[in-house]
Amino acid sequence: MEWYLKVVRDNYANFTGRARRQEFWMFVLFNFLITLGLYVVVAILAFTSESLAILGLVILFIYVIGVFIPNLAVVVRRLHDTGNSGWMYFISLIPLIGTIWLLVLLCTEGQVGPNEYGPDPKAAYPDDLSNIGTKSNH
C-alpha cells in the first residue's frame, strides 16, 4: 500500500525520474484491487436499488478518472527506468503486438546506474527512499 500511496499522493502528475518495477507493479496491484472492490460494491448495490447502483457507478467513474494521471505518470517513469522515452507508451496502440511489447518493457529490469532520466532507484540508500520517482538530477 505504501507504493500505491507514493504514486497517488507524492507523485500524482510526476512524469520525470524513474520508477522501479516494485513501485509500478505494487501500484498496478492495489489499483486493480481497489477497482475490483468498487465493482463488487456496485454489483451488490445493483441488487438493492437502481439509484444506489448509479451512485456506485459514479463513484467508480470518479476513482478511475482520479487515478488516470498517476497511472500514466508511473508508466512513463517505469519506461524511463528501462532507458526508454515515455512516448513508447503509444506503442500499445498497435493491436496485440504493441501491447505485448509494452508489457515486456514494463517487466524488464531497469538500467543499472544513472541514465538520462535520473539516478538508479535501486541504488538509493534507505534515507533516499523519499526521493525515488521524484525529479531527475540530470
CA dist., res. 37 & res. 131, Å (int): 31
**Rounded mean pLDDT of 14-41?**
95
- For the stretch 49-67, pLDDT in tens is 989 999 999 999 999 999 9
Report pLDDT for 135.
Answer: 61
Does 121 have pLDDT greater than 80? yes
Mean pLDDT of the chain: 90
Q: 133: closest CA among 50, 26, 11, 9?
A: 11
**Rounded mean pLDDT of 106-130?**
81
Q: Are the C-beta atoms of 91 and 76 separated by less than 8 Å? A: no
Domain boundaries, the chain: 2-131
For the chain, count helices (H), then strands (E). 5, 0
Report pLDDT for 130.
Answer: 61
Does 126 have pLDDT greater than 60? no
132 compared with 1, residue with greater pLDDT: 1
pTM across the whole model? 0.82
Report pLDDT for 136.
Answer: 53
